[in-house]
Amino acid sequence: MITTDKVTQDQPEEAATTAAPADGRRTPKQRRLVALLAAAVLAYGLDLGSKLLVVSRLEGREPVGILGRTLTFQVIRNSGAAFSMGEAFTAVFTAIAVAVVVVIVRVARKLRSLPWALALGLLLGGALGNLTDRLFRSPGVFRGHVVDFISVEHFAVFNLADSAIVCGGILAVLLSFLGRALDGTSPKDPG
């Protein structure tokens, strides 16, 4: 039996890109979704694991110097956003994180670009990491304080979820600046 990836007149393009090849390999769309999920799971897992570790080992202790005072680990409970801004709006930040997760899940269906899959995966993993804190840490659901622990001298205290969000955001801005759309096209592409 010979199979081809060619789209026929009876078969819409979307069906051709999502139908699994006969040899069991993943389609390009499936590979991009796997990349998105892998980036999200990695970012989320590293964030959750690091928070569990630092809370159990460092909470209530003096900061631990990693590179002198330039880089230290210290547990801070943050009810606000970056730089502890908006501490009275914890529920709003929770709603924003939920909205980000929903938008990324919806957009993933239109995804045809591996770099965008990685960017959205990092954003998704980071959003889920901080959302988990907002939902399950004290003082309560939708009001939980995010665990921050990486302290850089003359800068904010942050966590790995924040780092994933920043890296995903930088990649998304770069892709936008380069004119790459979620579907992988560019304004320079013919057609």
Q: Which residues are catalytic?
A: 148, 162
Place of tokens 């957009």: 107
Residues 6+ apart with CB under 8 A from 1: 22
The rounded distance, in Å, linking the Cα atoms of 110 and 183 is 6
Please give the structure tokens belonging to residue 190. 């013919």
Going by their DSSP bridges, the two strands 71-78 and 64-67 should be labelled as antiparallel
DSSP three-state, residue 189: coil
Q: Pick left, alpha or beta for residue 24 (phi over 0 → left; psi -120 to 50 → alpha; otherwise beta).
A: left
Please give the structure tokens belonging to residue 38. 């892998």
Measured CA to CA in angstroms, residue 19 lies from 15, 38, 83, 140 at distances of 6, 21, 46, 44
Verify cis geometry, omega within 30 degrees of 0, for the bond prior to 28.
no
Count other Cβ atoms within 10 Å, centred on residue 78: 23
